Structure 1
Amino acid sequence: MAQSDTEETVIAAKPVDFSKRISRYLAGIFLLLLVYGLYIGRDFLTPVILAFLLALTLTPIVRFLSKWAVPPALSATILIVVSAGAITILAYVTSGPVSQLVADAPQISAKLQERIHSIRRTVDKAVEATSQIDSATETITDGNVQKVVVAQPGILSRAAGSLLSIGTTLAITLVLSLFLLSSGTLFYEKLIQSFSLMSDKKRALRVVYSVEREISRYLFTITLINAGLGIAVGGGLWLLGIPNAMVWGVAAAVLNFLPYVGALATIVLVAIISLVTFENIVFSLLAPAFVLCCNIVEGQFVTPLLLGRRLELNPVAVFLSISFWSWIWGFVGALLAVPLLVVIKVVCDHFETLKPFGNFLSAQQPSKVPAEE
């Protein structure tokens, strides 16, 4: 009798296990389809997400101006026009130096190889290492000159061809940001209308306002910090005599949206230009050392002071996010990786069921944010 009851229990349990297995398979298929959808829809999704992030960044200014009886539509139009003008001026000013850098890339590469060869010859006197470097230098200098020259127009034509795509993305981003900022409380009114109970309406509105406040504060503050870092780096490199210092200041500001990776890329690029520019090896190390000091001050003092520790992220999660989004959407995805990670973390902090994942994304103990079920 006991054996019969056991068999019946096992048979009754099988459909439950089978149902769970199907749910897991469906969840896996959904994730694969989601990743594939993100990949094939990158041309549409990237300007949309950029527009939402830009709107969140400028929201504090619109709210502040609304307290002085400035209509959201007017303040949004002014902000978008100013942003578009700033982007246009910055692109126009930096286009010349960037084009010159692209044109001088073969010469910079050859000179860099000579400097590296000279440094290695000083450090390492081994004959085999020196002969290998010499042969590599001769191969690049003598054998591949024609290939590099032939490849140059291809690079320039591809860069020129991508300008139209970049311009279209920026135009969509700015126009959509204008509509989002001008709409005022329309989004919240639509959100409230989707709930029937008053308690659900209040809870949804409280969560949305809290998430918007924290994310807009983060994006607005980090944008100002990166702009200040770019000004400091550009000014310091100009004083040190680095050519096109403004370009490297802009690069430092943009790449700093990528924690760790962006700072390292800026230091390496500045080190290459410094080695090519200055004959004295010791003096050529001053420029990358200055950039390193600026990034240390920004990362260890300025950002924690202005943002606090609550929105600090787990470095492992940051690297995984940058790797994933750069794989899906390229360089733009890498720039969006950390802001999107902050958005996910803030949302997770407000829901009890998502708090474990938010705790994984955090760099410290979970923050005391009132959870919403």
Structure 2
Amino acid sequence: MDVGPVEAKTANGRLHLSKLVSASIIGIFAILLIGALYFARTFFLPVMLALLITLTFSPLVRYLRRHGIPSVVSAIMIVLAMFAVFGAAAYYLADPVSQVIADAPAVAQRLEERFAPLREPLRKIMSASAQLEQIAAAVSPATERVVVAQPGLAAWAADTLGGLGATLGVTLVLVVFLLSSGDLFLHKLVRILPTYSDKKRSVRVVHDVEFEVSRYLLTITAINICFGAAVAFAMAVLGMPNALLWGAAATVLNFIPYVGAAIGTGTALIAGLITYGSIGLALLPPAAYLLFHTLESAFITPLVLGRRLELNVVVIFVSLAFWSWIWGIVGALIAVPILVVVKVFCDSFPGLANVGEFLSGNNFTVEPAADQDTAAVEN
């Protein structure tokens, strides 16, 4: 029977779809997956964060288990340590953040005074925009305008911090369960694979991904903390208010390549214009921020991490835009770690080597690590 160009039956009776139909199915699946990630982000975001944290600390949990400490105990210790760090950060930053929110109206007033020479051009632009709106309203008078009341700065900050706190709480609970399970999922995967070579490869891929992601995230976190400390010290020396808050913000923003540095430098420039009376002094905070970022990104990070996990700049920007749209601020923070996981995974499979090379920012091919942990397969 002729089943047409869309599908055909092979000799063993199985249905074979044409390339067009297969591509259409994959495209529909991708659209549905993106929609699920966007609309169910309250579910997927803690799961993704928990998986990244689990990949980061799994080598440590395995090391402690080999030295007689159960996975449950080490998982609880790690989560308690993370909770203590976040709790201490929230405690020490609560007053500076509250002060910034309280001073927001005064800061806006000072900004308006600083940029008074630009008031007239902006007024003309706003007047022209209002005239265009009047013309549009005259053309379509039946159109009704709906104005949505926006929440204030304090309400927005409270909602944002509350959402982040809830996400972090769910994430830490998931981390406890995932780290406590140890190599349970890996052992189940090994048991269901048919051949010994597949079992060895699965163990190697999982351990490679865990090691590379753990090394990357822990190293980047340490570098960013040092960067934030340097920025805080520089801001304190320059007499900027809330130096501790500057350091914390610099640490978090440095997880976002390129964009974070631009936001930090621009914010430092605005704060300098508000704090100092002269343009020369106002340029010192952004200059210090940019200097430390240049030293970190051009020298320290490449020296410490090497070029094994260097990523394509265009792919980084696309990933930042995508995950920021899907999951907001947290999505922007984990966009690059997700790319690192995908790249390490692709580098471990010859069939996905082209994808790994596309994600790479260098001109050499990363060879998969030698076979290891064979004993885990035999167990």
TM-score by length of 2: 0.83
Map of 2:375 onto structure 1: none
Contact 1:313 1:361 in 2 (8 A): yes
Structure 1 residue 55 and structure 2 residue 44: aligned? no
Task: Call closer, same or farther: CA 1:60–1:154 in 2, change over 3 Å.
Answer: same
Secondary structure of the corresponding residue to residue 51 of structure 2: helix
Distance in 1 (alpha carbons) for counterparts of 2:347 and 2:108: 48
Shift of 1:114: 2.1
Task: Call closer, same or farther: CA 1:218–1:132 in 2, change over 3 Å.
Answer: same
Deviations 1:280-333 (A, max 9, x none): 221121111111011111101111111110101111000000000111111111
Identity of aligned residues (%): 47
Shift of 1:179: 1.8
Contact 1:310 1:367 in 2 (8 A): no
Task: Call closer, same or farther: CA 1:242–1:61 in 2, change over 3 Å.
Answer: farther
TM-score by length of 1: 0.84
Structure 1 residue 90 and structure 2 residue 79: aligned? no
Distance in 2 (alpha carbons) for counterparts of 1:273 and 1:60: 42
Distance in 2 (alpha carbons) for counterparts of 1:18 and 1:370: 33
Aligned counterparts, 1:61-76, within 5 A: 61-76=60-75
Aligned counterparts, 1:206-221, within 5 A: 206-221=204-219
Shift of 1:176: 1.1
Map of 1:339 onto structure 2: 337
Corresponding residue pairs, total: 340
Map of 2:99 onto structure 1: 100
Aligned counterparts, 1:217-366, within 5 A: 217-366=215-364
Distance in 1 (alpha carbons) for counterparts of 2:194 and 2:165: 43
Distance in 2 (alpha carbons) for counterparts of 1:196 and 1:20: 29
Contact 2:58 2:182 in 1 (8 A): no
- Worse overlay, 103-112 or 249-258: 103-112
- Output the amino acid matched with 1:87: F
- Output the amino acid matched with 1:132: P
Shift of 1:371: 8.7
Distance in 2 (alpha carbons) for counterparts of 1:153 and 1:320: 30
Task: Call closer, same or farther: CA 1:240–1:65 in 2, change over 3 Å.
Answer: farther
- Output the amino acid matched with 2:73: L
- Output the amino acid matched with 2:302: P
- Output the amino acid matched with 2:50: A
Secondary structure of the corresponding residue to residue 193 of structure 1: helix
Map of 1:167 onto structure 2: 165
* RMSD of aligned residue pairs (Cα, Å): 2.6
Shift of 1:68: 4.1
- Worse overlay, 156-165 or 183-192: 156-165
- Worse overlay, 38-47 or 348-357: 348-357
Structure 1 residue 200 and structure 2 residue 189: aligned? no
Secondary structure of the corresponding residue to residue 292 of structure 1: helix
Distance in 1 (alpha carbons) for counterparts of 2:119 and 2:214: 55
- Output the amino acid matched with 1:235: F
Map of 1:5 onto structure 2: none
Secondary structure of the corresponding residue to residue 319 of structure 1: helix
Deviations 1:186-245 (A, max 9, x none): 222122122132221111111111111111111111111111111111111111111011
Shift of 1:63: 4.0
Shift of 1:270: 1.4
Contact 2:224 2:254 in 1 (8 A): yes
Secondary structure of the corresponding residue to residue 337 of structure 1: helix
Unaligned runs of 5+ in 1: 1-10, 122-128, 138-150
Task: Call closer, same or farther: CA 1:351–1:286 in 2, change over 3 Å.
Answer: same
Distance in 1 (alpha carbons) for counterparts of 2:323 and 2:222: 24
Distance in 2 (alpha carbons) for counterparts of 1:155 and 1:288: 25
Task: Call closer, same or farther: CA 1:105–1:29 in 2, change over 3 Å.
Answer: same
Shift of 1:14: 7.3
Contact 1:349 1:371 in 2 (8 A): no
Deviations 1:98-126 (A, max 9, x none): 12212222221221232234xxx5xxxxx
More helix by share: 1
Map of 1:20 onto structure 2: 19
- Output the amino acid matched with 2:303: L
